[in-house]
Structure 1
Amino acid sequence: MKNTRNNTAKKLILTLAAAALITFQGFSQSKVDADSKQAIFPKGKQGPASNFTGKAFNYGLIENDPTYNTVVGNVLFEPGARSNWHKHPAGQILIITAGEGYHQIKGKPIEKMRKGDVVKCPPNVEHWHGATPDMALHQMYIIPNAEKGIVEWLQPVTDKEYNAFK
């Protein structure tokens, strides 16, 4: 009887330990999956490796036209993904709709962005943005006065630059 109880207790402990391990291992991925399920817009098309490190997906919402002269879209950055340094002739506005990410204006410290944040990127100022290492980022972008131009892509953000967040 005592051995049966010990064996049952051992099996229970092993089962609980296995369940805890499976839950812990799946936590990061489930966090990303849950965040993606909260997305407002579809994933879109993957951006070119020449402009992004990691996987970033663009979904266009409003194309430039002579009436509004504004481009609006959504970008999903997978964890660790980021844009190259770039600039917009008329600036850019970012609205974070889910997840967490980083944004940096050349010469300034990296800033963390979270759901609900609004970030203004000044005209003709080099900057980059992307997800944190552990969480996806969903952002809407607004490019006003698009008749001045949309974007000028520059060099990739190095791992050293990306990992400089304090």
Structure 2
Amino acid sequence: MSQDEIWDREMTMEEFKSLEPSLQRKRIDTSLMRKVTEVQRWAARGVPKSVDWRERSGSRTKLREWHDPKKKLWRWSDDTPDHPEGRNKGLIAKWKKARTQLASGTAAKPKNELETWKDRALALEMQNTILIAETAILEDRLVRSEAKVRQLETQKVRGSDLHSN
């Protein structure tokens, strides 16, 4: 089992306590960072309809208790890692800012799926248009280059004809 597999997986409290202290700390700090990143993402892009952000991150206690193995978000009980003046105070400040934004209602509203697909289709259409234009420019350059090569070859043949007489 690799080092990451040892600490970054679902485990019982007994398994957690058997980890080296440095790995326990790494597990909690990494999970806190992932949780804060997720909350920031919600503030920037909107909260998915299936999620109640207050239940997952409305307070430090809820942030601590948030557990989602699919996203490798692990719970912890000690409040030291998420203390506003503790070792992760920068992360906690970012979490507070995102939480305040979510609470104020100024966070981005999630786009519905149809809008998202329309935006992607429009972006791809624009990309295709640009690629078609670039291809046309390159084809035109190629035609001109081929014409120059033929012209130079013709001149070279005429020049060699003059020298052979």
Q: TM-score range by the shorter chain?
A: under 0.3
More strand by share: 1
Determine which structure has greater relative contact order: mean sequence separation of CA pairs < 8 Å that are 6+ residues apart, divided by chain length.
1
Q: Rg larger in 1 or in 2?
A: 2
TM-score, normalising length from structure 1?
Answer: 0.22
TM-score, normalising length from structure 2?
Answer: 0.22
